[in-house]
Amino acid sequence: MSHLELYLKRCCRKYPEDWEYITGHKGLAFLIMKLWLEAEKFENLIKDDPRFNTDRESVSEFVYNPDNYEIIEKFFDDSEIISCRSKTFPQASEELDGIKTYDINS
């Protein structure tokens, strides 16, 4: 999560044309949003498990520090993708730049 924040922050500040591409490409923005949301879900599941809780507080403090987290909010705002939060990849594929999804269980 921290790496994604740092990448997006650098991209937004130093490479505005790349930021525009990432936020403008709905399929890519959807993938990034889903990765973020799944990471949050996983973090919440393991936060009290001592096997996975190595130095968790310092990581959480960094990730959810307003100076760092604001780039995630900016990404969601600029891409206007948050409205698709509850959609699955197959559901979103019909609406978002024609992204293709594959059934890996077949």
Q: What is the pLDDT of residues 36-60, one digit of tens each?
A: 998 888 887 777 666 666 665 667 7
Higher-confidence position of 55 and 92: 92
Paired tokens of 3: 């790496």
Q: Which residues contact 92 (CB under 8 A, 6 or more apart)?
A: 27, 30, 84, 99
Q: What is the pTM of this model?
A: 0.79
Paired tokens of 86: 């509850």
Q: How confident is the model at residue 16 (pLDDT cuts 50, 70, 90)?
A: very high
